[in-house]
Amino acid sequence: MAKKTIRDIDVKGKKVLIRVDFNVPLKNGEISDENRIVEALPTIKYVLENGGRAIVFSHLGRVKDESDKAKNSLEVVAKRLSEHLAKKVTFVPVTRGKELEDAVLKLKDGEVLMFENTRFEDLDGNKESKNNPELGKYWASLGDVFVNDAFGTAHRAAASNVGIAANIKETVAGFLLEKEINFIGGTLENPQRPFVAILGGAKVSDKIEVIQNLLKIADKVIIGGGMAFTFFKAMGYEVGKSLLEEDKVELAKELLKIANGKIELGDDVYTGKAFDPNTEKNVRNIDSIPQDEMGLDIGPRTTALFESFIKDAKTVVWNGPLGVFEFPRFSEGTKSIAQTIADIKDQATTIIGGGDSAAAVIQFGLQDGFSHISTGGGASLEYLEGKVLPGIQCVDDL
Ligand code: ADP
Ligand code: MG
């Protein structure tokens, strides 16, 4: 369903609450990857350039006791944001109270303030994470309109997303959330065909609902990576020391049955004797994996088969590496598939959802070859499962 975005509202002179995802990695108190700050800039700048008063907030890490506060303060992030905006960012070191309210009242058009980590409220009965209604109402009272731009937490109902939305007149999506809605939501709703889904990663159990949902929508469901072996077992093959979830073999059989030929697994794998980057690499047909070997990458024939489907696709959704790409020796399959998808960029919508798959593509330097690389790990997975994400649902319909 189409959602209102920041372009659909007038922010001039308004106090604009902006929920961003500034959950950046910190090492010894320093930001080790500022990507999330950079990605939030378009939304914040848009508000400032259009005369809005930006009140920016986010969670950072987990806050379980008092001692977690110091290492999860957003103050360093506010400083970095200020550098990127080339503008003063007033940092308010609390999440509620007079100091915050006064700072909001002092804010002028085109100015920005940031308040402290929303999860500081978790020290008091998980008020943020459990969506305490009083907290959402309080934060909503600080602003005139609400912009949600935090996709990474959209699969959880928190005070800082649905809590605010329930208590404010207008809730719209920022540019990042809009992109996720358009690409993932739009594709699942109305894909261009042929639609090829590629699923990999370690475990079937992590991806059951994704497989089930994509089987309903996609024309082909390619399965590789560690989870393929549970399917091979379900087909009657011996998989040696490969990753195997015995308790999911029956489910795999069922999925193969309902898939009606839609699932492609290929018929060869690269194996090693140990889960070790330097283990000797062999190529094996799927019906002859030795007992003391494990499958660590898709084989060359399987790669070619998968690529034959990808080449004609108009939509590709990829979740999960096809082998242990962290070991250079077993990254070949994942890399080749990534390259093939990048090659069809002009003819197809190509989407990656999944933290490790995104990391793999970035490691190969192919990130520009994709239409969209989703930024939320858990959130993208739940979106691909076909679930309604509370952080998206709470945005006003267009
Ligand atoms: P994503 O984060 O993209 O959703 P997952 O977390 O499901 O992906 O899976 C990623 C992991 O799966 C990687 O660390 C990779 O090494 C592992 N993996 C892929 N293929 C295999 C395999 N054949 N055996 C063991 N692990 C594998
Ligand atoms: Mg992962």
Domain residue ranges of the chain, discontinuous segments joined by +: 6-177, 185-384
Give the Å distance between the CA of 355 and the centre of ligand 2: 5
pLDDT for position 279: 98
pLDDT for position 375: 82
Query: 181 with 150: CB under 8 angstroms?
Result: no
Mutation choice for ligand 1 from 275, 330, 356, CB with most ligand atoms inside 8 A = 356
| Active site members | 36, 203, 355, 378
Mutation choice for ligand 1 from 230, 284, 286, 324, CB with most ligand atoms inside 8 A = 324
The pTM of the full predicted model, rounded to 2 decimals, is 0.92
pLDDT tens string 170-210: 999 999 999 999 999 999 999 999 999 999 999 999 999 99
- Written out in words, the top-level CATH class of the domain with range 6-177 is alpha beta
300-310 vs 332-343: helix crossing angle, rounded to 10: 20
Ligand nearest to the CA of 355: 1
pLDDT tens string 55-111: 999 999 999 999 999 999 999 999 999 999 999 999 999 999 999 999 999 999 999
pLDDT band at 354 (very low <50, low <70, confident <90, very high): confident
Architecture of domain 185-384: 3-Layer(aba) Sandwich (3.40)
Topology agreement, domain 6-177 and domain 185-384: yes
Reported as type and span, the H/E element at residue 341 is helix 332-343
Residues at CB less than 6 angstroms from ligand 1: 200-202, 206, 225-226, 243, 295-296, 319-321, 323-324, 326, 354-357
Looking at every residue in the chain, the average pLDDT score rounds to 96
For 129, counting Cβ atoms within 10 Å of its Cβ (0-12 exposed, 13-18 middle, 19+ buried), the class is buried
Mean pLDDT of all residues in 343-353: 96
Ligand nearest to the CA of 353: 1
Shortest CA distance to 222 belongs to which of 305, 311, 323? Answer: 305
Q: Is 55 helix (H, G, I), strand (E, B) or coil?
A: strand
pLDDT band at 352 (very low <50, low <70, confident <90, very high): very high
Ligand nearest to the CA of 244: 1
- How far apart are the C-alpha atoms of 339 and 213, rounded to whole Å? 26
Reported as type and span, the H/E element at residue 201 is none
- How far apart are the C-alpha atoms of 186 and 182, rounded to whole Å? 5
Q: Which atom of ligand 1 is nearest to the CA of 327?
A: 16
Shortest CA distance to 319 belongs to which of 207, 161, 182? Answer: 207
Reported as type and span, the H/E element at residue 372 is strand 372-373
Give the Å distance between the CA of 277 and the centre of ligand 1: 14
Shortest CA distance to 312 belongs to which of 349, 352, 344? Answer: 344
Give the Å distance between the CA of 394 and the centre of ligand 2: 27
pLDDT tens string 332-342: 999 999 999 99
